Amino acid sequence: MIAVDWGTSSFRAYRLDAAGRIRDRRAAPAGILSVAEGGFPAALETQLGDWIEETPILMSGMVGSRQGWLEAPYADCPAGAAEIARLMRRVSWEGGRREAWIVPGLACRDAAAVADVMRGEETQILGAAEELPEGAAILCLPGTHSKWVRLDSGRILDFATAMTGEAFAVLRRHSILGRLMPPEGAAAAITADAAFDAGLARAGDPGGLLHHLFGVRSRALFGEIAPAALPAYLSGVLIGRELADLLPHEGGIVHIIAEPGLARLYAHALAAAGRKARILDPDCVARGLYRLAAHLPKRGGHG
Amino acid sequence: MIAVDWGTSSFRAYRLDAAGRIRDRRAAPAGILSVAEGGFPAALETQLGDWIEETPILMSGMVGSRQGWLEAPYADCPAGAAEIARLMRRVSWEGGRREAWIVPGLACRDAAAVADVMRGEETQILGAAEELPEGAAILCLPGTHSKWVRLDSGRILDFATAMTGEAFAVLRRHSILGRLMPPEGAAAAITADAAFDAGLARAGDPGGLLHHLFGVRSRALFGEIAPAALPAYLSGVLIGRELADLLPHEGGIVHIIAEPGLARLYAHALAAAGRKARILDPDCVARGLYRLAAHLPKRGGHG
């Protein structure tokens, strides 16, 4: 089968054998925003090349959003693989000769009954669930929109999203804070250094996030933090706030799914908060799609 | 005398009589960012016109910042008019024949000993202080960088800044939240309507600001808030958070200094938080400069 993770800005495909092992992979910066309306079948064929002949093809991520190929619904929490598979949507082209399946997103309501949504992460979580111990588990999928997820025996109970990565990006690029920092191209990658730690610690001070953000500026004005260290400090302030607000109090390891640099940053932040972290395989999306494929209706053989 | 409030994006001047009453005013979108290096004397003469002959000329605001005419220092809290006046800096041009005075900023340390700064607001506060009752008072100067100030008998004890207005602007213009909203030019001004109230209420829910920001998106996706109402909802979420974090617990009226629309918005938010508000005269900056002028050294008559 072919497993596709098609997000806003990137396209990743995996060729899996019958046991779900990754045999090959392809990736391109060909996210859904680069595809014109009606252009999804052609874009998929271009990216998959000769893999297009293999079946089934399952796709997760923003390809199922309003801006994607077809708007797939949201499954409601709590949900496991079966409930999510039930809402997969079939797309076909070339007069129905070719087809692919789009995974739904996942929705829940927070303590105040306000909706939260994910699209793509649910499939990563299903893939990671097999690596988790039995019983309750906490997952963190940091990024543009960080997800904090509670699982129980492989079922997704609920989750909460924080706009941490996007807040960092817009503040760094467009606010007065960014003007104090080196240009993005010239700045070092953010690592768990002393400035990041200072930001994490700051998040525990009184005054709240909007005050701590202005403090990035005043500390820079007073020369307390060097310009080159400001991005890491800002990142620490934001991630520290995210953890203070969303890290579940019940103990236990936090399982992280992210690209390696970001995963290490969060593992460090969790350690600073006194919590153990375990970094999971970021390719778990392929495993999740493999699990969902098992729920597909048996093919009628129109190929 | 001439009182000048010279900020990042605007220039305001007042002609005052000997008793400090405003006789005339001039304003232009000629903030310091529009002035080239070395161009401040000419810019001041252009803006003041024939008023340039009057003395003294006192200026407050970002004109005293690193990007301004001359970097004036910061006075330390607690401070009253005398301490602030002591750090005024003289600028002169035309071989010393013309001169003006630049008011310092004000700095303090918060509970965690992190620096906070203001530049321009200290002069507004000094002007407003005469309108305040004796004893303790709370001032709020909302805006791009909102200031919460504690006074005692006209002296500024300390203050805290929240980046509320700037956070709103960058999220509205540059984040995924803005894409759900009507274009800025087509959007109505934000007023204390039901969507603003819903945002205020949201700030009291668990999950924290970064989660509530993502909730703006998910509520929009589920059609719970109409696109036209999203800017007011986002504003309510941010202002609600600011109040939850920085509104001093000790009771009493909160005195607001802001342009009328924003002052009304904050007065409404304070009422929703169970607090009384009183909106002060936004021209208090002229009164503050008048008070500071009383501390100037007597002129030696080199005019």
Residue in chain B nearest A66 by alpha carbon = B221
Give the pLDDT confidence score for residue B188 in this predicted structure: 87
CB contact under 8 A, A117 and B205: no
Q: Which two tokens stand for residue A185?
A: 């191209």
Burial-class residue A14 by CB neighbours within 10 Å (0-12, 13-18, 19+). buried
A21 touches B at CB < 8 Å: no
B213 touches A at CB < 8 Å: yes
- The H or E element containing residue A127 is helix A121-129
Interface test with B, best of A110, A149, A202, A211 (most B CBs within 10 A): A211
- The H or E element containing residue B76 is strand B74-76
Which chain B residues have a beta carbon less than 8 Å from that of A202? 112, 114
Where in chain A are all domains bearing CATH 3.30.420.300?
Answer: 2-131
| pLDDT band for position B298 (cuts 50, 70, 90) | confident
Window A:177-206, CB contacts with B under 8 Å: 202, 205-206
CA distance B45 to B64: 17
CB contact under 8 A, B206 and A110: yes
B109 touches A at CB < 8 Å: no
Write out the CATH class of domain A2-131: alpha beta
User: In this complex, how many residue pairs, one in chain A and one in chain B, have their CB atoms less than 8 Å apart?
Assistant: 159
Write out the CATH class of domain B2-131+284-293: alpha beta
Where in chain B are all domains bearing CATH 3.30.420.300?
Answer: 2-131+284-293
Which chain A residues have a beta carbon less than 8 Å from that of B145? 214
Contacts for A234 with CB less than 8 Å, ≥ 6 apart? A168, A171, A172, A177, A199, A213, A216
Where in chain A are all domains bearing CATH 3.30.420.310?
Answer: 162-279
Whether B67 has a pLDDT exceeding 80, the answer reads yes
CB contact under 8 A, A214 and B161: yes
CB contact under 8 A, A176 and B161: no
Pick A205's closest partner by Cβ from B112, B207, B242.
B112
The pLDDT of B194-204, averaged and rounded, is 97
CA distance B78 to B300: 31
Give the pLDDT confidence score for residue B302 in this predicted structure: 46
Give the pLDDT confidence score for residue A297 in this predicted structure: 83
Residue B133 or A77, more confident? A77
Give the pLDDT confidence score for residue B301 in this predicted structure: 47
Which chain A residues have a beta carbon less than 8 Å from that of B114? 202, 205, 215, 218-219
Q: Which two tokens stand for residue B88?
A: 């005024």
Q: Which two tokens stand for residue A85?
A: 């598979």
Which chain A residues have a beta carbon less than 8 Å from that of B206? 110-112, 245
Please confirm whether the linkage preceding B133 is cis (ω < 30° from 0).
no
Give the pLDDT confidence score for residue B186 in this predicted structure: 86
Nearest to A202 by CA among A224, A172, A221: A224
Window A:46-75, CB contacts with B under 8 Å: none
CB contact under 8 A, A219 and B176: no
Give pLDDT < 70 ranges for chain A.
Answer: 299-303
| pLDDT band for position B300 (cuts 50, 70, 90) | low
Give the pLDDT confidence score for residue A300 in this predicted structure: 52
Give the pLDDT confidence score for residue B303 in this predicted structure: 38
Nearest to B278 by CA among B290, B266, B289: B266
Give the pLDDT confidence score for residue A301 in this predicted structure: 47
Pick B114's closest partner by Cβ from A219, A238, A242.
A219
- The H or E element containing residue A147 is strand A146-152
Which chain B residues have a beta carbon less than 8 Å from that of A215? 110, 114-116
Judge contact between A254 and A275, C-beta under 8 A: yes
CATH classification number, A162-279, choose in 3.30.420.310, 3.40.50.300, 3.90.640.10, 3.40.800.20: 3.30.420.310
ipTM of the complex: 0.95
Pick A160's closest partner by Cβ from B175, B207, B224.
B207
CB contact under 8 A, B111 and A244: no
The pLDDT of B57-69, averaged and rounded, is 96
Interface test with B, best of A114, A150, A171 (most B CBs within 10 A): A114
The pLDDT of B228-234, averaged and rounded, is 97
Give the pLDDT confidence score for residue A303 in this predicted structure: 38
Please confirm whether the linkage preceding B206 is cis (ω < 30° from 0).
no
Pick B163's closest partner by Cβ from A160, A214, A245.
A214
Whether B49 has a pLDDT exceeding 60, the answer reads yes
- CA of B108 vs chain A CAs: smallest distance (Å): 10
Pick B210's closest partner by Cβ from A167, A206, A222.
A167
Judge contact between B105 and B113, C-beta under 8 A: no
Q: Mind listing the pLDDT tens digit for each residue in B149-184?
A: 999 999 999 999 999 999 999 999 999 999 999 998
A273 touches B at CB < 8 Å: no
* Beta strands A254-256 and A136-141, pairing class: parallel
CB contact under 8 A, A221 and B160: no
Nearest to A127 by CA among A251, A239, A16: A16
The pLDDT of B112-118, averaged and rounded, is 96
Which chain B residues have a beta carbon less than 8 Å from that of A145? 214
- CA of A50 vs chain B CAs: smallest distance (Å): 35
CA distance A273 to A267: 10
- CA of B236 vs chain A CAs: smallest distance (Å): 14
